[in-house]
Amino acid sequence: MQAFRISGTAPFGSQRQKFSMDIVASSSDDAEHRCYSIIGSRHKANRRTIKIESVQEIDPRTSSEPMVLNAFRDQIEAAGGTIAPQEEE
């Protein structure tokens, strides 16, 4: 499994907005499929209305997405922790 960052535009409500999401998948095609599935189920958007602009493989330590951090927690701990800065509340 690998970590991917997907960015593009999708209809959220009555307007189109840019999005970026980090996903754990086995390949870039699988990551695109998961992105379509997640956005479609959360926002009732059809696959043809979602425009994916880029799919990049990333270092899991740079992500702040809980699903990515959980999937790679052993590797992140062995490497010395996350690279992404912690946000203050």
Please report, to the nearest 10 degrees, the dihedral formed by the alpha carbons of residues 26, 80, 5, 42 taken in order: 90
- Domain with residues 2-78, CATH architecture: Roll (3.10)
What does residue 36 show for φ and ψ, rounded to 5 degrees? -55, -45
State the Cα–Cα distance between residues 60 and 58, nearest whole angstrom. 6
Domain ranges of the chain: 2-78
What is the pTM assigned to this prediction?
0.85
φ and ψ at residue 54, rounded to 5 degrees: -150, 150
Note the pLDDT tens digit of each residue in 10-50: 998 889 999 999 999 999 999 999 999 999 999 999 999 99
Neighbours of 46 (CB within 10 A): 11
